[in-house]
Amino acid sequence: MIVELFGLPGSGKTFYCNELREKKKYRDIMTFYKEKFFGKVIFHLILIFGMIKKEFRKTYNDLIDIIGTDINKKNWITKEAEMNIYIKYIVIIYFIEKNSKNLVIDEGIIHYCMVLFAEYELDKEQCFKIIEYFDNKYFKDKKCICNINCNIDIALSRMKNRNRKRAPIDFLSDDKLIILLERYEQFIGYIKNKYTIIDISELLN
């Protein structure tokens, strides 16, 4: 079973990934990527050379067809990061999840679609088409979706307290950050209305 967590930044996704890894023996491949230098190197080598492979390339092109000309939009927060990189991330995450068992992931396909909606203002229907594209491949019977409940005030407080400076979102003013969190929250509502969501406590008990 693949367990994908989603929720606001600062909601505790990484914490619960660790809990599932330690208590239920789920694997968390992305921890290696996020915390280890060599993990980042390996991930980006897959990013570069994986896209050369026919199956990777076909999946990538299918997603580009779904999005259309919006692929050229710029991130409204940084005005520099291109949406294209997130599409490649989604493709790689798909192939990681496709070939895994008992995997927990906090930055999966739903997470990156949430980024596309919140930070790039991609239409929600396009985001759902991306998710449904993978649903039709394998997710419906293999994937469990867990929301980490957290309101904007708590998320904002936790983000300030952790004082992490590794992503563009960590450098936003409070005003811009609240706008972004509201967009994240809006997308979470869409997901909760469309999919069966499991409470994280059900998996930990």
Q: Where are the beta strands (DSSP E) in 22-136?
A: 103-105
DSSP letter for 136, please.
I
Alpha helices by DSSP H, listed for 99-145, are: 109-120, 124-134, 140-142
Chain centre to alpha carbon of residue 68: 21
pTM above 0.75, yes or no: yes
* Bridge partners of residue 104, in order along the sequence: 3
Tens digit of pLDDT at every position of the chain (205 positions) = 888 888 898 888 888 888 888 888 888 776 666 666 776 777 777 777 776 788 888 998 999 898 886 666 767 777 667 788 888 889 988 888 887 788 888 888 999 999 999 988 888 999 999 999 998 876 666 778 888 888 999 988 888 887 777 677 777 888 888 998 999 999 999 998 988 888 888 888 7
Cα–Cα nearest to 201, from 2, 1, 20, 14: 20
> Whose structure tokens read 């809006």?
186
* 8 A C-beta contact, residue 118 and residue 176: no
Measured between alpha carbons, how far is 35 from 33 in angstroms, rounded to an integer? 6
Could you give the 3-state DSSP secondary structure of residue 118?
helix
